[in-house]
Chain A
Amino acid sequence: MAQRSLEKIGYALMTLVAIAVVVPILGVVAIIVAQGLPALSWGFLSEMPYDGMKAGGIFPAIIGTLLLTLGTAVAAIPVGVAGAVYLAEYAHDTALTRAVRLAIVNLAGIPSVVYGLFGLGMFVLFLGLGTSVVAGSLTLGIMTLPVVISTAEEALRAVPREYRTVSASLGGTKWQGIRNIILPQATPGIITGVILGLLRAAGETAPILFTVAAFYLPSLPKSPMDQVMTLPYHLYVVSTQVPGMPEEIQYGTALVLMALVLSMNTAATLVRSYYRRRRTW
């Protein structure tokens, strides 16, 4: 009997721990939303900042983040999906394949600021791209690769074996089967993975510090070789680098960034659950 009541206390403690994990998460989201909402207005979203960024909006930072995210997608999707097709469809369990997997695990673990150093060394200086959208997108694209590859591989592997056998039995070559059957079936899963990778890239600051981000720019970028302002770096700047910055600009920027990233997160979840319900296997 004593044993039983001790166990009850144990379960209660576990529940408390789970609550201790969840409550701060809710707290962060609730506080940023509550404090940031009053700052939001059409002007805040669509105007250039002025008066030393203490007035006006964050339009250039929003545009910059969207451009960078697009650039990251262009850089990461082809290599990422092809890498996943290689691992799921072509690779045998050889030492080489294991080396590829190890490389992916390690890419996933490299600190974001080290990607920043790499981007600075390779893209900005060595290839002479300068601090530019191109340099930043390539850096973020490489950082995003492991997420895209591993989720896309999982999606490809989830397609039942029969689909491959049937395609082969109809005389299709391996690549025809992959292009016409396997890839279309795995597309929703791949899209989910791509969005998850991109949302990480959209929220990152450290890799773009020395490769693309600008403290303040008076105008929008005109070419991919220009610097841009971005939401994460802007939040860092207004909350730590400029004294006397009005609070609502800080909270407003934090809210817009968080809302962008979490809506991408929701989109990924919706795509996944929508297609999981619709698929026939």
Chain B
Amino acid sequence: MSESSLKNGDQPRVAFAVRLKQWGEFAVEAVIRLMGLSTIGIVILILSFLLYEGAPLFWQVPLGSLLDTRWYPTFGYYGILPLILGSLFVTFLALVLAVPLGVITAVFVREVAPAWARDILKPLIEVLAGIPSVVLGFFGMRYISPIVREALGAPTGLTALTGALVLGYMALPTLISVAEDALDAVPKTYRDAGLAMGASRWQTIWRVTVPAARPGIVTAIMLGMGRAIGETMAVMMVTGNAARMPIELDAVMKPVRTMTATIAAEMGEVAKGSVHYRTLFGIGIILFIITFLINLAAASVMFKKRAGGGLR
């Protein structure tokens, strides 16, 4: 509708339509902004509810008895040290496996592999990312645990090592894809410069490309670590779940119990509001804080890289 075709009397109506449209625009934008900002609200909500249910623990139970080495809730022992150490121990073992495998595979996929090999590798790694953790836990119980039992001559195959093997593979998809993105962001000119200086392809990869991608690779390892420490079902099914301190030399070959598995296994059986119930929420708070810090660190590496304007 062109302005000239308007009669005088139409003007208020047009002005109204324009104002309506402006208001509509304003309303839509407000809703969208609200939805975007709601993500911050959700993080705060999650923390609030964990604190709401878990914080009373800290004035019901003296801190000293929480930092005990015994976790026997039925007898009133709520020491969470074995659970924290159990989680850290299994996560550490998983990373010992996953970091070399993941980083080397990422370098292989991005820098070495021919196109056809890449086309096989990448979808397969996506498949691994898609398999539900309960299926991998089931597989671990059925196939990896007997292998561990026979290889080590241990009385049970449900050990920290079994958990680490399963967890290590579960951390791989995250680790590989983030590390690969980091390598991808290294400008081609870096590689060209390396080769032009007379370095072989191997030297260029390991002394130019990989060091240039290091912040991203560190991020990848941290995100993989976050994934491993928060994993629940698979770990619960294959680690044997004995709440004990993993401090002996052969702790690798003994059962262990993680924080996540403890919550998942026991929350269904506790009375609401009991000390046991509050302790499980307390463990949830600890997990929240640990993963929050890991992700904060990973994100700050990412943001710093972007702010520095270095790569890409």
> B-contacting residues of A (Cβ < 8 Å)?
3-4, 7, 10-11, 14-15, 17-18, 20-22, 24-26, 28-29, 31-32, 78-79, 82-83, 85-87, 90-91, 96, 98-118, 120-122, 125-126, 142, 145-146, 149, 173-175, 199, 202-206, 209-210, 232-233, 235-236, 239-240, 250, 254, 257-258, 261-262, 264-265, 269
Contacts and interface: CB of A to CB of B under 8 A. Distances in A.
Given A3-B200, A110-B230, A114-B287, A18 B121 contact: yes
B232 A14 contact: no
A111 B202 contact: no
Given A102-B296, A262-B130, A18 B32 contact: no
A116 B46 CA distance: 10
Contacts, number: 246
B232 A206 contact: yes
A103 B39 CA distance: 6
Interface of B: 21, 24-25, 28-29, 31-33, 35-40, 42-43, 45-46, 49-50, 52-53, 100-102, 104-105, 107-109, 112-113, 117, 120-121, 123-128, 130-139, 141, 143, 169, 172, 176, 200-202, 223, 226, 229-233, 237, 260, 263-264, 267-268, 272, 280-281, 284, 287-288, 291-292, 294-296, 298-299, 303
Contacts of B32: 82, 85-86, 90
Nearest to A87: B36
A269 B237 contact: no
Contact of A258 (B108, B132, B229, B272): B132
B29 A111 contact: no
A150 to B, nearest CB: 11
A103 B35 contact: no
A149 B260 contact: no
A264 B130 CA distance: 9
Given A122-B49, A175-B29, A236-B237, A114 B200 contact: no
B127 A265 contact: yes
B131 A239 contact: no
22 contacts: A10-B202, A14-B107, A18-B113, A18-B117, A21-B172, A28-B135, A28-B136, A32-B139, A90-B32, A102-B296, A103-B39, A105-B298, A107-B43, A109-B292, A113-B287, A145-B39, A145-B42, A175-B24, A232-B132, A232-B135, A261-B131, A262-B131
Given A32-B135, A107-B42, 8 more contacts: A18-B109, A28-B131, A28-B136, A111-B287, A118-B49, A122-B49, A239-B237, A265-B130
Given A82-B31, A83-B36, A236 B263 contact: no
Contacts of B232: 111-113, 205-206
A25 B287 CA distance: 29
Nearest to B123: A269
B36 A100 contact: yes
Nearest to B45: A122
Contact of B124 (A26, A203, A206): A26
A96 B33 CA distance: 11
B37 A121 contact: no
B287 A24 contact: no
Contact of B132 (A87, A115, A205): A205
Nearest to B231: A111
A192 B231 CA distance: 25
Nearest to B227: A109
A37 B52 CA distance: 47
A205 B24 CA distance: 42
Nearest to A108: B295
A118 B141 CA distance: 29
Nearest to A35: B142
Contact of B42 (A28, A103, A233, A240): A103
A126 B49 contact: yes
B256 to A, nearest CB: 17
Contacts of B281: 117, 121
Given A32-B139, A82-B31, A145-B39, A20 B237 contact: no
Contacts of B123: 269
Contacts of A4: 200
Given A86-B35, A142-B42, A109 B49 contact: no
B52 to A, nearest CB: 6
Which interface residue of A20, A24, A145 has the most chain B CB atoms within 10 A? A24
Contacts of A206: 232-233, 260, 264
A121 B52 contact: yes
B200 A107 contact: no
Which interface residue of B139, B200, B272 has the most chain A CB atoms within 10 A? B139
Which interface residue of A10, A146, A235 has the most chain B CB atoms within 10 A? A235
A112 B263 CA distance: 11
B126 A265 contact: yes
Contact of A109 (B125, B138, B226): B226
B54 to A, nearest CB: 8
B84 to A, nearest CB: 14
A199 B130 contact: yes
Contacts of A87: 36
